Structure 1
């Protein structure tokens, strides 16, 4: 893999850390700003909503900016947001920092996916995207536990200072390692498009179907995951102190699934997506049925992370393929779709809990959402022009 992908992965690591580490630091943040934990929790939901907004708005605004320049600008926004968070004198300023940092999230992964794909041969594009998202998965496996530990030991602000430094490293790496558009023009990688051409990509029904599959397929996993701590303690019988370590195991599954999913999607995109969505449906349902067993819960948690994140490279590649003439905005929109899926899964899981259906009900809800996503994918694959067969390269226009 090109060394430039490492710079993109470092950026992904920092962004993933910003998104998730706050979950382990909410008590400290709430105490420091003298707000309730519920109010502190808005720092999470506010971030998620800003990701969805930024994924569309900033990607569209940057359509005429060379992609390397756009990525550098987005990292400046990321550094600024985390710097504001580290220095925040009040809850309101802290929320501002979270929003500023979140705005770059979707656009970075959306534009970064296109850049990663254009750095490699056609048969390695999904693997290249998976490499970039590997930074995000490592943030869950290593970054969140270490960031939480640092925040608890040296104050929560120290974690955001550390993330700011990671942002600076990513900026330097992108500046030094990602090729400029001028050097890539001969390969058809000018790195700019018009807003009109980017929007025109949404005339394709397959682009919309791809986005719907992303919302449902990824939302299913998060439907089960959002309330997993309750399942682990109230159903499986684990002590509360064991939950962080079990979540690390889930993160290991994310990392392995991401790598495998990228390689499998390069070999056969449509069959890989069909297989992993079917497998995720089965895993979520099986988890719900066996959550009373600690050993089976450990296995199910690992599989849920692995199979769930194995969908990500393929889902991103599918939307880029069908928006091949102008993939950047569609790629960003698909990143927004991941976050919409998170919100949908969390909401539906909460509805089942509020209805008194028990602590395994979010897993059943997740299985149902994923199954619906699988149905949509089958319909999309059978529609005219919807099938992507093994050995068919992604059109060169994806790199345009």
Structure 2
């Protein structure tokens, strides 16, 4: 893999840390800025909305820019809003920085996917994608727990400063490692009909089904991950001090899943998707039924992290292959689909908790979402095979 791809992964690590770290900082932010805890929770929702809207919008706006310029603009904006967020004493300003930061994050990830896959051979998109998304999984393993620790020791603002500081070396490394002449077709100067042509290419049924499956699998992942802490503390009986370790274990599994998918998703994606999807369904069901056992819960957290990100990253890779005629916007719509899932899943899990169905209920929702993905894939398979044979 070109060194520049790992540089992009460093920036994605900082952005992934920013996206998830507020789960442990909300109470401190609410207390410091004199707002309610639900209001502080809106910071997470604002980031999710910004990611969903920002991925296609920022990719469209940056289509006329060289890739390196787009990456530098988005990362600079991301860095700047975290400095503002660390300094502000106004909740409305902090909320605005989360929206702008999400837009910049979405734009960077969309262009980054196009850049990474454009730097490798046409048959190595999966490896490039896994190297880039490894930054997100490492954020779960190290970035989020570190952000929570910084918040406990030096206050929530220190976590914002840390994200900004990690972004600085990535910024300079992009200047040095992403060549000025790297003109992957995804972001070269195009006329308006080029953008319309890419949008037309994104209407393909195979691509839409793949994006839908990615959304469902990611919704299942974040439905349980969002409410994993109350599950393992109230049902599994794991003590609060061990929660960061269990969350990091999920992150380790996700890193393993992305790594394995990177090796197989190019040439043998079905070896990941078919058994992985079925195992994912079984795993969520087992976690819900066996959550009363701390040992079973810990093992299944690792397994489900591996399966979730292995299947999810493989679906992203397949979406990029299906969107070959839309290289600039394919990654953007894949990013948007994943973030729709990241927003829908926790919302559904929250509804079951609000209805008094217990801490296991979000895990059952995850199982149902994966089951829906499997049924959707089964229904679409004959048409998929027919379209492939007709090519």
Q: Does 1:17 align with 2:47?
A: no
**Aligned equivalent of 1:392:** none
Shift of 1:52: 0.6
**Aligned equivalent of 1:250:** 250
**Aligned equivalent of 2:352:** 352
Q: Verify the 8 A CA contact 1:201 1:330 in the aligned structure 2.
A: no
Q: Verify the 8 A CA contact 2:186 2:327 in the aligned structure 1.
A: no
What 5-or-longer segments of structure 1 have no aligned partner? 390-394, 396-400
Shift of 1:11: 0.8
Shift of 1:286: 0.9
Shift of 1:380: 3.3
Q: Provide the secondary structure at the position in 1 that maps to 2:213.
A: helix
Mapping of residues 1-400 of structure 1, within 5 Å: 1-180=1-180, 182-184=181-183, 191-193=188-190, 194-384=194-384
148-157 or 205-214, larger mean C-alpha shift:
148-157
Deviations 1:215-243 (A, max 9, x none): 11111121222211121112111122221
Against the structure 1 CA distance between its residues 195 and 386, is the aligned structure 2 distance closer, same or farther, given a 3 Å change threshold? farther
Q: Verify the 8 A CA contact 1:251 1:305 in the aligned structure 2.
A: yes
Q: Verify the 8 A CA contact 1:106 1:332 in the aligned structure 2.
A: yes
What is the alpha-carbon distance in structure 1 between the residues aligned to residue 188 and residue 275 of structure 2? 33
Shift of 1:183: 4.8
What is the alpha-carbon distance in structure 2 between the residues aligned to residue 384 and residue 368 of structure 1? 23
Against the structure 1 CA distance between its residues 239 and 260, is the aligned structure 2 distance closer, same or farther, given a 3 Å change threshold? same
What is the alpha-carbon distance in structure 2 between the residues aligned to residue 135 and residue 48 of structure 1? 18
Q: Verify the 8 A CA contact 1:124 1:263 in the aligned structure 2.
A: no
Shift of 1:299: 0.4
Q: Verify the 8 A CA contact 1:270 1:387 in the aligned structure 2.
A: no
What is the alpha-carbon distance in structure 2 between the residues aligned to residue 144 and residue 189 of structure 1? 32
Shift of 1:291: 0.6
Q: Provide the secondary structure at the position in 2 that maps to 1:203.
A: coil
Against the structure 1 CA distance between its residues 386 and 139, is the aligned structure 2 distance closer, same or farther, given a 3 Å change threshold? farther
What is the alpha-carbon distance in structure 2 between the residues aligned to residue 202 and residue 189 of structure 1? 14
Against the structure 1 CA distance between its residues 372 and 121, is the aligned structure 2 distance closer, same or farther, given a 3 Å change threshold? same
Against the structure 1 CA distance between its residues 351 and 189, is the aligned structure 2 distance closer, same or farther, given a 3 Å change threshold? closer
What is the alpha-carbon distance in structure 2 between the residues aligned to residue 68 and residue 288 of structure 1? 45
TM-score (norm 1): 0.91
What is the alpha-carbon distance in structure 1 between the residues aligned to residue 259 and residue 388 of structure 2? 20
Against the structure 1 CA distance between its residues 189 and 230, is the aligned structure 2 distance closer, same or farther, given a 3 Å change threshold? closer
Shift of 1:384: 4.2
Against the structure 1 CA distance between its residues 121 and 306, is the aligned structure 2 distance closer, same or farther, given a 3 Å change threshold? same
Shift of 1:320: 1.5
Shift of 1:276: 2.0
Deviations 1:142-162 (A, max 9, x none): 111112212222222122112
What is the aligned-residue RMSD (CA, Å)? 2.0
Deviations 1:192-235 (A, max 9, x none): 55321221212311121111111111111212222111211121
What 5-or-longer segments of structure 2 have no aligned partner? none
Q: Provide the secondary structure at the position in 1 that maps to 2:63.
A: coil
What is the alpha-carbon distance in structure 2 between the residues aligned to residue 141 and residue 388 of structure 1? 39
What is the alpha-carbon distance in structure 2 between the residues aligned to residue 384 and residue 39 of structure 1? 45
TM-score (norm 2): 0.93
Shift of 1:23: 1.5
Q: Verify the 8 A CA contact 1:380 1:386 in the aligned structure 2.
A: no
Against the structure 1 CA distance between its residues 5 and 386, is the aligned structure 2 distance closer, same or farther, given a 3 Å change threshold? farther
Q: Provide the secondary structure at the position in 1 that maps to 2:25.
A: helix
